[in-house]
């Protein structure tokens, strides 16, 4: 794409988004928004001049068009990164075609996802006929013979969370790369080739950081080929960066390795008699190590359990079994590519295990999570700012590359220091455009009276008493958002006896299915935790009330929070006011943002936590929210819905 195209355009981005511009002809009901035009002009300037810009653009601004229009006009190769795969698909399949048609600039576009989103021809051929998934496997094989992209999202008949997908897709660890017999037809390779040739490439944050952190070395880096990067839903970046700049090892990874060794041995036949017995011993050691950490789901620092005899024994046995398996796999590696690849994976995963369980550094925190039969071991950097700063300038020292970070929730009390500090963006230019919605007319904020402090043992019981009359006034049509799974479970048990409306509970069905049910159910009440706080767009009367049980502070027992707090205290800083409060403010803004999604929406926001008004830090939350009219009277709520 040539810069001549951009220079030759008679109109700039703001002009194209005006009421007499091309979007008015393409989109029914299109209206011009000053904030959208101003944001487009700001993005246009950054793309032309380089540097970094941090932009908060309130719900309803139309930020997607505000960055896509200048991106297409810029004449530059632009990488756009979104928060989730669903948003990625929406941006590529819905928004980008509209903008490309309106702007009239001939650009090539591509969509790229992580390799786990593409069927692996080689692994599909090896997949065993498990009776539990025979129908799913048959459907995948039929589709695989017809697909051009290999994107598994095309297979509607197989659930996204089905275990079969891990058997027919690849990871960076088990991919054979150029040595694979099916390499020429590899969907991941073809998608990467299209991505590198595109003028506008749409990815998601996880894929961006996988590339930035050099986790996909076999296919080269994407970033050096692009002159500009735009992050949508940029508030997610610090936590995602923490994952990718750290080290992770899961029981599922180890189990997957064992499964792949078994398949490789069946296909390549090393003939080593003791291989299968050592493989079985390793699988038992993985399960025993998981059991050594207890039955309950939990999240804790590794230091809190590493001295426990049962954990020490489980870890030592696991390391011994992996070492013994590695010895025989070294001999088997010469027989075939799959066995050789598996041996390399054993060494890599063993290195990760050693790093996480023995690393001692104030720069990293070692911790673990347990879920059902899985354990996730992590080594997480306490601060990612330096790593992100260095990687952004990696390679060709792209000082003139443009970086745009935008979201509806980046600022705290109108200021961006918290987000900037976490990613090392202190010198970035900042802009803030409030939502164009009329919250004084469209919404009401209700802070109930009579609730105890959230730490009170009867808080959840009193919460139910408080929200029942609200749900009766709203006729259901509500999200009830929780800060913990425990509270969700308690309310899910007691609420059905108190209201007659249909109740949908997170965990009883996939998230997308619950949202579809909610939209299709009159007077529905959906109970959800973290994943429903953001990335959910329900417009119209179906969602007329959002209730939030508590201010979304992270658990004080969270090991990463504790490590970051200790590091800040060592510098003489206040981790509560400088980290915990700003983080919770941004989370609250996300949850509250589910309510008003359109200029025609009307709804009630209920914040049940009395600390909003009784604690000094409550003002930071209140000032960071839109300009809602506020009440503490239930009668006002009833009048709001009766009007």
pLDDT tens sequence across 507-548: 888 888 899 999 999 999 999 998 899 988 899 999 999 999
Q: What is the dihedral of CA 321, 325, 330, 333, to 10 degrees?
A: -150
CA 578 to chain centre: 24
Taking the C-alpha atoms of residue 296 and residue 309, their distance in angstroms, rounded to an integer, is 18
Contact 167, 255 (CB under 8 A): no
Taking the C-alpha atoms of residue 369 and residue 629, their distance in angstroms, rounded to an integer, is 41
CB crowding 190-228: b at 16 or more within 10 Å, else e? ebbebbbebbbbbbbbbbbbbbbbeebeebeebbebbbb
Domains 3-108+198-241+384-433 and 439-642 share a fold: yes
Contact 369, 557 (CB under 8 A): no
Residues of the chain with pLDDT under 50: 1-9, 215-220, 394-398
The answer to whether domain 439-642 has CATH 3.10.580.10 is no
Q: Nearest CA to 532 among 488, 472, 495, 580?
A: 488
Both tokens of residue 245?
């700049």
Both tokens of residue 634?
């239930």
Q: What are the phi and psi torsion angles at 431 (to 5°)?
A: -140, 145
Angle at 294 (CA atoms; ends 291, 298), nearest 5 degrees: 120
Q: Nearest CA to 68 among 86, 80, 83?
A: 80
Instruction: Look up residue 514 and give its DSSP letter.
Output: H
Taking the C-alpha atoms of residue 379 and residue 272, their distance in angstroms, rounded to an integer, is 35
Q: Nearest CA to 254 among 353, 169, 368, 335?
A: 353
Q: Report helix, strand or coil for 61.
A: coil
Taking the C-alpha atoms of residue 479 and residue 547, their distance in angstroms, rounded to an integer, is 6
pLDDT tens sequence across 482-513: 999 999 999 999 999 999 999 999 988 888 88
CB crowding 513-551: b at 16 or more within 10 Å, else e? ebbeebeebebbbbbbbbebbbbbebeeebbbbbbbbbb
pTM of the full predicted structure? 0.91
Contact 412, 586 (CB under 8 A): yes
Taking the C-alpha atoms of residue 423 and residue 417, their distance in angstroms, rounded to an integer, is 10
Contact 325, 279 (CB under 8 A): yes
For the chain, give every domain's residue range: 3-108+198-241+384-433, 116-184, 247-381, 439-642
H-run or E-run covering 368: strand 364-371
CA 347 to chain centre: 29
**Fold that domain 3-108+198-241+384-433 belongs to in CATH:** Rossmann fold (3.40.50)
């Amino acid at each position: 794409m040539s810069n001549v195209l951009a220079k030759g355009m008679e109109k700039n981005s703001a002009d194209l988004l005006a009421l007499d511009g091309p979007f008015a002809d393409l989109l029914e009901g299109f209206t011009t928004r000053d904030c959208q035009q101003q944001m487009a002009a700001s993005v246009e300037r950054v793309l032309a001049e380089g540097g970094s810009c941090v932009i908060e653009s309130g719900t309803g601004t139309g930020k997607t068009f505000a960055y896509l229009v200048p991106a297409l006009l810029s004449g530059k190769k632009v990488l756009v990164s979104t928060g989730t795969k669903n948003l990625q698909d929406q941006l590529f399949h819905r928004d980008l075609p509209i903008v490309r048609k309106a702007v009239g600039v001939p650009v090539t576009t591509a969509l790229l996802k992580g390799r786990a989103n593409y069927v692996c021809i080689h692994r599909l051929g090896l997949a065993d006929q498990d009776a539990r998934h025979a129908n799913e496997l048959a459907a995948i094989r039929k589709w695989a013979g017809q697909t051009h992209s290999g994107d598994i999202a095309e297979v509607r008949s197989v659930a996204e969370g089905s275990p079969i997908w891990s058997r027919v897709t690849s990871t960076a660890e088990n991919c054979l790369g150029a040595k694979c017999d099916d390499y020429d037809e590899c969907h991941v390779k073809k998608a990467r080739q299209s991505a590198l040739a595109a003028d506008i490439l749409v990815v998601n944050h996880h894929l961006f950081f996988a590339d930035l952190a050099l986790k996909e070395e076999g296919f080269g880096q994407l970033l050096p080929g692009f002159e500009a990067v735009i992050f949508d839903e940029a508030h997610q970046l610090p936590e995602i960066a923490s994952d990718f700049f750290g080290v992770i090892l899961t029981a599922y990874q180890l189990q997957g390795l064992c499964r792949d060794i078994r398949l490789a041995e069946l296909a390549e036949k090393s003939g080593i008699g003791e291989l299968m017995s050592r493989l079985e011993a390793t699988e038992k050691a993985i399960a025993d190590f998981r059991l050594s950490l207890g039955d309950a789901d939990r999240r804790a620092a590794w230091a809190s359990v590493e001295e426990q005899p049962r954990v020490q024994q489980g870890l030592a046995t696991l390391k011994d079994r992996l070492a013994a398996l590695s010895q025989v796999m070294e001999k088997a590696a010469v027989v075939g590519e799959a066995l050789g690849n598996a041996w390399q994976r054993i060494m890599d995963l063993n290195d990760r295990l050693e790093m996480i369980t023995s690393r001692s550094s104030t720069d990293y925190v070692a911790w673990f999570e347990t879920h059902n039969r899985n354990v996730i071991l992590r080594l997480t950097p306490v601060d990612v700012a330096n790593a992100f700063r260095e990687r952004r300038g990696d390679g060709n020292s792209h000082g003139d590359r443009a970086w745009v970070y935008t979201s509806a929730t980046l600022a705290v009390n109108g200021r961006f220091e918290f987000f900037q500090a976490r990613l090392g963006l202190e010198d970035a230019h900042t802009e803030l455009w409030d939502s164009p919605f009329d919250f004084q007319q469209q919404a009401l904020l209700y802070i109930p009276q009579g609730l105890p402090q959230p730490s009170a043992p009867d808080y959840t019981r009193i919460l139910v008493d408080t929200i029942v009359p609200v749900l009766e006034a709203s006729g259901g049509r509500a999200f009830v958002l929780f800060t913990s799974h425990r509270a969700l479970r308690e309310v899910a048990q007691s609420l059905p006896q108190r209201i007659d409306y249909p109740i949908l509970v997170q965990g009883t069905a996939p998230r997308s299915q619950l949202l579809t049910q909610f939209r299709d159910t009159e007077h529905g009440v959906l109970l959800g935790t973290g994943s429903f706080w953001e990335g959910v767009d329900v417009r119209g009367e179906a969602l007329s009330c959002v209730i939030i049980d508590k201010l979304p502070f992270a658990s004080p027992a969270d090991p990463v929070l504790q490590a970051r707090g200790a590091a800040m205290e060592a510098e003489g800083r206040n981790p509560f006011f400088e980290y915990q409060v700003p983080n919770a403010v941004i989370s609250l803004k996300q949850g509250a943002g589910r309510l008003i999604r359109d200029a025609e929406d009307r709804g009630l926001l209920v914040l049940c936590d009395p600390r909003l008004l009784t604690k000094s830090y409550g003002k930071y939350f209140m000032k960071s929210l839109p300009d809602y009219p506020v009440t503490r009277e239930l009668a006002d709520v009833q009048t709001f819905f009766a009007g």
